Structure 1
Amino acid sequence: MRALSSLLLLVAIPAALAVKSHDFKTCSQAGFCRRGRALSARAAAHPQWTSPYSVDADSLSISSDQATFTAGVKSAIYPDIKFGLEVRVHDDGVVRVKMDEVGGLRKRYDEAASWALIAEPKISKDIQWTVGTKDIRAVYGDKKDVEVVVSFEPLTVTLYRNGKEQVVLNGRGLLHLEHFRKKEDAKPEEVTSEEALESEGTQQVLKTPNLHAWFEGEEEDALWEETFSSWTDTKPKGPESLSIDITFPNHGHVYGIPQHASSLDLRTTTGESPYYTDPYRLYNADTFEYLADSTMSLYGSIPVMHAHSADSTVAVFNAVGSETWIDIAHSSVSSTETHWISESGILDVFIMPGPTPKDIFAQYTRLTGTQALPADWSLGYHQCRWNYVSSEDIRAVQKKFDEEDIPVDVFWLDIEYAEEHKYFIWDKKNFPDPVDMTNDVAASSRKMVVIIDPHFKRTSSYPVYQEAVDRGLIVKQKDGQTDYEGWCWSGSSAWVDFFNPAAWDWWKTLFKTYKLGDDKFSWTESTEDVFIWNDMNEPSIFNGPEISMPRDNIHYGGWEHRDLHNINGMLFSNLTSQAITVRGEVPKRPFVLTRAFYAGSQRFGAMWTGDNLGTWEHMAVGIKMVLANSIAGFAFTDVGGFFGNPDPEMLVRWYHVGAFSPFFRAHAHIDTKRREPYLLDEPYKGMVKDILRRRYSMLPIWYTAFREASTTGLPVARPHYVAFPKDEAGFSLDDQYFIGSSGLLVKPVTEKGAKEATVYLPPNELFYDYDSYNLYRSPATGKKITVAAELDQLPLFILGGSILPTRERPRRSSSVMRHDPITLQVALDASSSARGELYLDDGVTFNHQQGQIVWREFSAEKSGKGIKISSRDLTTQHLASAVDSVALTTYDPANAFAQSISSVRVEKIAVLGLGAKPSSVKVVGGKELEWEYSSGVSASGKKEGSSSLLVIKDPAVSVASDWEIVVQA
């Protein structure tokens, strides 16, 4: 059965089709997780337990820039083992805490951060450390309200704001770096509790005769070898796991650590009444047909966690690339304890002080980068299945979309396009003319996406494989010499080691669309209208442990696969993205969809939520997963189903979900019936067509939201706690969300047979129903409203004070809409004001980085007894305040792109909530305009009901120019 992708659409799946849980480990089946949890249990059973790790104050050294200090760390249990500690404060207030074994038998893997970070962070020049007898501390921030304190004995790191604890590392004493040792060595000399009490810096009061046995366990547990199912992990380096407890003493809600099919607000996994019995697991795995409510690992891993309260938001990024388990305990309504247990690596934790969600996103993306600004066409509708069977099949599908006047931007090909699953090599029996086929698609302003998986068929007749072998680029077996062989779609397969720098330039050459020479392969049967889908890159290996690669395989630099497993898939999509960017003479924005990902993957493309089931439960949890991925930096995600044959009701509901997801793709398993939207009977076909057209009408909103994500890190799909961080009633909401800063609130319907839906509105706000224009007022406590949600309806609202730009002319694809006029929907707030943004560029190249853009702010404000609606250039405004990244020397409001769309006009303005019928509407310095007004409740009044509506007809003002329209009462 195909263990691959999914997005949109599915229905009832037989109960027998469900994840095979026995293929994947639980914590109790992973030796290092067992050991970490056992330490936690022993510590909890002895309330007076404190960590054996302490700072050697005599070794303290403060750098000349005063922002960094280093010190030695010693353990009361292993006095001969030395550790080094480094703490530094970045110029944005982020605190980085690193700890590693010093002078050990081996080196621990310390490269995870180097793959995730965009650059070495800038260190603050304003930090002054104060050294005391018990700790070292620094106070900083514009208001001097942030303090970081490193206590010596036991070692703890605490971040404070206004004297209030925000984040505590090792507060529960669970820090432990299992030091390297020799298998034949005897256990360290036993240290009794009495002796420990006499040793400097130790505060143990336990009544055990042997602290070593107490700390690491009475018996050795999978230190040197471990068996799971039929596979044995030899563990040649022995034990090397890392454990750290991170507590958020004044934050009762935590989010993040994707990817899991779970609620956005992370649930308790330990204690007296846990919701889950296993910790959340981060281990990239091909968990197809996954459970809809579970802590099981899925395809990607981002070890970042937000902690939130009405007072502040903080976050941690734990830069580790190995398998990691995270226990969560909500010890009270306002406090959360977490315990992170990793198989290998060093302690490298970034503490982000916030104090707002917006600050957290800025701090995190300064570390790992923002979402890449995608090509505009990639925000349209993508049509995919496993598999369109031939060139003529693709042509026929495109023809049917056009005949039914249904918009689509991209057609996808799964693995069957490739001869014997040798990627880059077309099956000429079914795809005899791949370039002509692609050109036929491109002639209708559309693109192709073709799958390239990371496993290569082991045969000398496959040039890609043979070149990789000749260059020595294949991942090795545990002996470090023999090329690894596994089994995947290609049969006997090999995997390129993308940690090897020698693979990088070679991989880029494969995507060139012209011949490089007789002895070099390039994809000449491709064009610049073909983009890439990277699947199976966890990596997925059918005959491997947990359907993946053996942990003792060897990568470049001698590192074991266990050390970097979660990073592996990111390098594949990273290099593919670079290859697509530079394949032509003019660099163009790539589109690469990846299934596996890590922190920083957002820089390289899109991801999706994997092989889910066609059930209502999976539809619902997909929304939660999109939100979790979004707050971890990945704005470009999707939702959907893969297995089964959807009934029309589920299909329509899932199209609504997809249309309001950042990435919108329909996909289906090879065994499913064809379900392209034009195959539906009425009224369902008409419903889906309307949904697709709405997506296309809102593309300016989506593209503007992606611009914001690409510069600030703020997510495109925005959870309630991000939009309204003070509203405690919304902290756990994950079934409704906002689209960027647009003011659009969406509540997808994910229940069978639903006729209505309940929507929560935050305090003291106005919301307008997008379709009926009904106005709702929310009191100081917020409120829930019940609205109609028939199958053809999606609860969708505009926040009062917002202005939405849309394009309302139906087209076959997004590319042909670039010069269409704009409609503005102005939703007034109680003070009769509103604002919104529109961002445009050529949508394809990188010319926007040289200032070839149009970025406008639209505003409405009270003017006398009426209102004034205006447009102004936002880039100039932001450059003046040094907010935006476009260099002032390269930006001109009359840039070439702005001139190219000077004829693009605003063709309609709809104003909601105006207080009274106007007496005139005119462009300042111009003519009186035509308009219509229908009475209803006003934004400045007190009543709810149908809003007043003013429609200004064809003001004919340019979207690239400054203008003002006065609405006179």
Structure 2
Amino acid sequence: MRLSGQLVPFTSLLFLYCSLTVSALKTGDWKTCSQSAFCRRGRALAGRAKEAGANWKSPYAIEPTSVVVAADEAAFSAAVKSSIYPDITFKLDLQVLDDGVVRVRMDEVDGLRQRYNEASNWALNSEPSVSKQIEWTVGKGDVRAVYGAKKDISVVVNFSPLKITLLRGGKEEIVLNGEGLLHLEHFRNKAEPPPAPTEVPEEGLDGEEEAQQVMEVNSASSWFEGEPDGYWEESFLSWTDKKPKGPESLSLDINFPRHGHVYGIPQHATGLSLPTTTGEDSFFDEPYRLFNADVFEYLASSPMSLYGSIPLMYAHSASSTVGVFHVVGSESWIDVAHPKDGSTNTHWVSESGILDTFLLPGPTPEDVFAQYARLTGTPVLPAHWALGYHQCRWNYVSSDDVRSVQQRFDEEDFPVDVFWLDIEYSEEHKYFIWDKKNFPDPVDMTQDVEKIARKMVVIIDPHLKRTQDYPVYKEASELGILVKPSSGEGEYEGWCWSGSSSWVDFFNPGSWDWWKKLFKTTPQENGFSWIDSTESVGIWNDMNEPSVFNGPEISMPRDNVHYGGWEHRDVHNINGMLFSNQTWQALLARSNPPKRPFVLTRSFFAGSQRFGAMWTGDNMGTWEHMAVGIKMVLANNLGGMSFSGSDVGGFFGNPEPEMLVRWYEVGAFGPFFRAHAHIDTKRREPYLLDEPYKSIIRDVLRLRYKLLPMWYTAFRETSVTGIPILRPQFVMFPKDEAGFAIDDQYYIGSSGLLVKPVTEKGATEATVYLGEKQAYYDYFTSHIHRGNQKNITVKAELHQIPLFIRGGSIIPTRERPRRSSPLMKMDPFTLRVALDDQRKARGELYLDDGETFAHEQGNFVWREFKAEASKKGKGITLSSLDLAAARPSDAVDGKALSEYRGTNDFAASVSPVKVERIVVLGLGGKPTSVSTDSGAPLEWDYYDGVAAVGKKEGVASILTIKNPGVSVSSDWNIVIE
């Protein structure tokens, strides 16, 4: 880069970045609410309302004569006026969607300018369908709709003051503007003086009371549009933000009168049940901030903004679960308070944008997840290999380094699927251009990795080095698709790893086809393509918040200009999603027939789940970061980002062997499993450790690979339903209040596996909460535990992972160790059958080719395994059934199959794959016979546990059926008498 006309080498740039990030622990490079003018104004509004108490009244009201109800769908619109701005008109639109979700939109009408109104275009998977079965009823003072199977849901829109309430059974679930904090700062000319206060005393007050109220209301009114606090210009440290459009913030209170726990609004390093930020007993002093930012070495407990933002919040109680999706792409701050037990008030303040809010009525956790998924899409089904172990560091320095790391993994019998390259593979950080000195043979190197059925992932960052000998920058500049500075002319120039850099404006449709062309692995007639690559290489999108080393808050100036004339402040939180979106589209177009792309992103927004995986960024190698990483991944799962994980070992630091082992045990039970490390850390590939640490990690990796069938089946489920892969206690047991705040253990999909990662130094035991009386079997010892809404204590030495199979579950595994997951394709299966108290169990297995989209044409295997108690006696019947034939509309990515054939090509290809072993836990008595339904006897062993199920805790009875000879892709029955 050039600084004051001088070329700055990479070492200086690295020093600059690390100098910036050292202060991350002090938080000084990022704003607090008091340093953000629109947040100050929003919090001050809440303060005024609190001081005024019952005298506070929202100035917004519907003009009754303006209400227009749609003739053919559940929608209405109305004009809204504010007593503060009598000359300004707002328009309110309400819709009830087919699934009962309520959409609320409000925007200024015929203003001086247009507020940013395109956030939903990027977040929503498609335009939602409005119900034609529900009708609005207009009354004297409100508009309402009643619906639901039991006609127990109602939406009431009060005219004056404006208030919108979602009720169930006549009780308030979600209330908008109940506290009167709704405020859309209208556009105005800079010279416009503040409006005169409007007196609105209540009727029936005596003179003294009326005078007091007028004084209070006038005080509030003068604050609304009084002192021009940061209206037109705002400074932070050495930067000044010019605001040519003036103030345009959006404030809204969203309250949950019957819900004492709220979750969501990822991404923050904090507890899953969000701690309070206001009130005398507030846990944090600052609101939660949604502002995608490159916060290196972030605090392990803080409401500070991090790399991604999803403006989605769930509220939960024993009676119901509801949600709010507030579609705003600008910086937002959110306060959380519990004014009384069992209720939650929240206050959302955003820098710009229209009001576009979806009310998700639930009433169960599964319902709200499905409602959100119908809006923003389900997580994409990844390639199977992406669920294996990923080995990364900044940086593997050469082709020989990559080959030697792969060789050591094989010599030491460690399974691995993916090797990664960080920014040093590229020449002067010109992405797509290899440093031929250290990587002289990139295609050969990649093919050497692929020969062992492994993959490579290479980083592509969004900043382009501003030099004419870099064809990617040169083409982007000539096409005019780069982000512009505040003047709207030319190209914005900032500093990042490439030095002097510009950024592609992915809001510009002209960039989309061009970006796809770059990833083509064959020469193109119209410019550069990445011929030094292969069709199987995955892509890592980093630094896409965007991170700008010399920008305000290490990001892009807010008055930069994007396509359509929108300022960066309007789209900041959406920006990173478009980068990963277009990269995913580019990889999809790279091959014919297309293969499933793998894209990892650091920055994300609502809807990013449609384009791949994310990770929690540059964490630290500490026990605290290990622990909070679990909570963050759980929160991201609730936000739709199921394919998520934290860097194993911590990005920064040199973890001791005990910590590294525990971190591998954490990572092996996260959806995205990658080890990563900073350039200044010591090499810490697992084969470098001494014993016993090395062998423990090898066993952990092998356990991950054994359980890949379970993981892949869980990914299929979330790709269809939107239900998260990792499920905290409140999701599994929504009526058990003792579990609502538990965030250090979780269930994996519908598998019945419960894991309690150990994140404390020196731990030899762990406390696990069991929310039901049901038997829980230790995965490794088959010991039976029962908690019944109580904690149990289990052994957790360094080599021990508290992992349990819930009674009533069947877990499919593949037990043979392989070097990578594709090599397991024809391996046989083991079924672990954990019987419940009624001697029943069920489980699922989903298989496809793991790489293409042939599953969308019905080429897959989706089986249900069941154990059912015999009607007479104590025997059971084990069976395998074709789920896809029974439920074709549930089979693939939420799309109905036009035709499904159980004998599809893929099913035929895996018909030789057998179930080689069935382990039945908790049978409770030695069988007299084990046979197929045709009567053919099977070989079996039986171990009589210390205690049978239902008497006292001990080791379960274990029946092992050897080589039953049944295919994994066909129907069968096994009878145990």
TM-score normalised by length of structure 1: 0.96
CA contact (8 A) 2:48 2:220 kept: no
Q: 1:568 and 2:538 equivalent?
A: no
1:657 equivalent in structure 2 = 666
1:25 partner letter = K
Which of 635, 638, 646 is 1:639 aligned to?
646
CA contact (8 A) 1:419 1:428 kept: yes
Q: 1:85 and 2:89 equivalent?
A: no
1:482 equivalent in structure 2 = 490
CA contact (8 A) 2:258 2:342 kept: yes
Q: 1:501 and 2:509 equivalent?
A: yes
1:963 equivalent in structure 2 = 972
2:934 equivalent in structure 1 = 925
Q: 1:129 and 2:136 equivalent?
A: yes
Name the SS of the counterpart of 1:320 in structure 2. coil
Q: 1:398 and 2:406 equivalent?
A: yes
CA contact (8 A) 1:193 1:208 kept: no
Which of 683, 690, 694 is 1:685 aligned to?
694
Which of 607, 613, 621 is 1:614 aligned to?
621
Q: After the TM superposition, which residues 690-705 of structure 1 pair with which residues of structure 2 at under 5 Å, given as runs?
A: 690-705=699-714
CA contact (8 A) 2:195 2:225 kept: no
Relative distance call for 1:729 and 1:373 in structure 2 (3 A) is same
Relative distance call for 1:805 and 1:942 in structure 2 (3 A) is same
Relative distance call for 1:231 and 1:197 in structure 2 (3 A) is farther
1:846 equivalent in structure 2 = 853
Q: Distance in 1 between matches of 2:341 and 2:882?
A: 46
Name the SS of the counterpart of 1:957 in structure 2. strand
Q: Distance in 2 between matches of 1:352 and 1:4?
A: 46
Which of 835, 839, 853 is 1:832 aligned to?
839
- 1:943: Cα distance to partner? 1.4
* Deviation by residue 1:111-157 (Cα, 9 ceiling, x = unmatched): 00110001110111111111111101000011111000000000000
Q: Distance in 2 between matches of 1:933 and 1:585?
A: 52
Q: 1:42 and 2:51 equivalent?
A: no
2:585 equivalent in structure 1 = 578
1:723 equivalent in structure 2 = 732
1:367 equivalent in structure 2 = 375
Q: Distance in 1 between matches of 2:369 and 2:221?
A: 43
TM-score normalised by length of structure 2: 0.96
1:469 equivalent in structure 2 = 477
2:794 partner letter = V
1:743 equivalent in structure 2 = 752
* Deviation by residue 1:332-362 (Cα, 9 ceiling, x = unmatched): 2210000000000000000000000000011
Q: After the TM superposition, which residues 169-318 of structure 1 pair with which residues of structure 2 at under 5 Å, given as runs?
A: 169-194=176-201, 205-208=213-216, 210=218, 213-216=221-224, 218-318=226-326
- 1:19: Cα distance to partner? 2.7
Q: 1:783 and 2:790 equivalent?
A: yes
Q: Distance in 2 between matches of 1:644 and 1:557?
A: 44
1:322 equivalent in structure 2 = 330
- 1:941: Cα distance to partner? 2.0
- 1:876: Cα distance to partner? 1.2
- 1:190: Cα distance to partner? 3.3
Q: Distance in 2 between matches of 1:165 and 1:363?
A: 19
Relative distance call for 1:151 and 1:744 in structure 2 (3 A) is same
* Deviation by residue 1:582-623 (Cα, 9 ceiling, x = unmatched): 101211100000000000000000000000111100000000
* Deviation by residue 1:524-562 (Cα, 9 ceiling, x = unmatched): 000012110000000000000000000000000000000
CA contact (8 A) 2:721 2:894 kept: no
1:912 partner letter = L
Q: Distance in 1 between matches of 2:776 and 2:13?
A: 40
- 1:887: Cα distance to partner? 4.1
2:782 partner letter = Y
Which of 909, 915, 938 is 1:900 aligned to?
909
Relative distance call for 1:196 and 1:437 in structure 2 (3 A) is farther
1:647 partner letter = E
Q: Which moved more, 1:295-304 or 1:57-66?
A: 57-66
Q: Distance in 2 between matches of 1:398 and 1:936?
A: 43
CA contact (8 A) 1:4 1:288 kept: no
CA contact (8 A) 1:412 1:448 kept: yes
Relative distance call for 1:888 and 1:187 in structure 2 (3 A) is closer
Which of 708, 729, 737 is 2:717 aligned to?
708
- 1:813: Cα distance to partner? 0.2
2:3 equivalent in structure 1 = none
2:33 equivalent in structure 1 = 27
Q: After the TM superposition, which residues 49-68 of structure 1 pair with which residues of structure 2 at under 5 Å, given as runs?
A: 49-68=56-75
2:4 equivalent in structure 1 = none
2:801 partner letter = L
Q: Mind listing any 5+ residue stretches in structure 1 that lack a counterpart?
A: 6-14
2:317 partner letter = S
2:159 partner letter = F
Relative distance call for 1:422 and 1:772 in structure 2 (3 A) is same
Q: After the TM superposition, which residues 348-363 of structure 1 pair with which residues of structure 2 at under 5 Å, given as runs?
A: 348-363=356-371
Q: Distance in 2 between matches of 1:578 and 1:357?
A: 31
User: Identity over the aligned pairs, expressed in percent?
Assistant: 67
2:572 partner letter = H
Relative distance call for 1:203 and 1:361 in structure 2 (3 A) is farther
2:40 partner letter = R
Name the SS of the counterpart of 1:65 in structure 2. coil
Q: After the TM superposition, which residues 796-835 of structure 1 pair with which residues of structure 2 at under 5 Å, given as runs?
A: 796-835=803-842
* Deviation by residue 1:289-319 (Cα, 9 ceiling, x = unmatched): 0000000000000000000001100000000
Which of 157, 170, 179 is 1:150 aligned to?
157
1:336 equivalent in structure 2 = 344
* Deviation by residue 1:464-492 (Cα, 9 ceiling, x = unmatched): 00000000001000010121000000000
Name the SS of the counterpart of 1:166 in structure 2. strand
* Deviation by residue 1:696-750 (Cα, 9 ceiling, x = unmatched): 0000000000000000001111111111111111000000000001000000000
Name the SS of the counterpart of 1:424 in structure 2. strand
1:732 equivalent in structure 2 = 741
Q: Distance in 1 between matches of 2:577 and 2:368?
A: 23
Relative distance call for 1:756 and 1:57 in structure 2 (3 A) is same
- 1:185: Cα distance to partner? 1.2
CA contact (8 A) 1:66 1:128 kept: yes
1:627 equivalent in structure 2 = 634
Q: Distance in 1 between matches of 2:722 and 2:893?
A: 13
CA contact (8 A) 1:831 1:940 kept: no
- 1:232: Cα distance to partner? 0.3
Greater RCO, 1 or 2 (C-alpha within 8 Å, sep 6+) = 1
1:10 equivalent in structure 2 = none
CA contact (8 A) 2:381 2:893 kept: no
Which of 739, 764, 772 is 1:763 aligned to?
772
Q: Mind listing any 5+ residue stretches in structure 2 that lack a counterpart?
A: 1-9, 15-20
Q: Distance in 2 between matches of 1:906 and 1:203?
A: 83
2:435 equivalent in structure 1 = 427
* Deviation by residue 1:850-908 (Cα, 9 ceiling, x = unmatched): 11110000000101320000000001111389998554542100000000000011000
Relative distance call for 1:557 and 1:140 in structure 2 (3 A) is same
Q: Distance in 2 between matches of 1:162 and 1:384?
A: 53
Q: 1:599 and 2:583 equivalent?
A: no
* Deviation by residue 1:20-39 (Cα, 9 ceiling, x = unmatched): 41100000000000000000
Relative distance call for 1:245 and 1:627 in structure 2 (3 A) is same
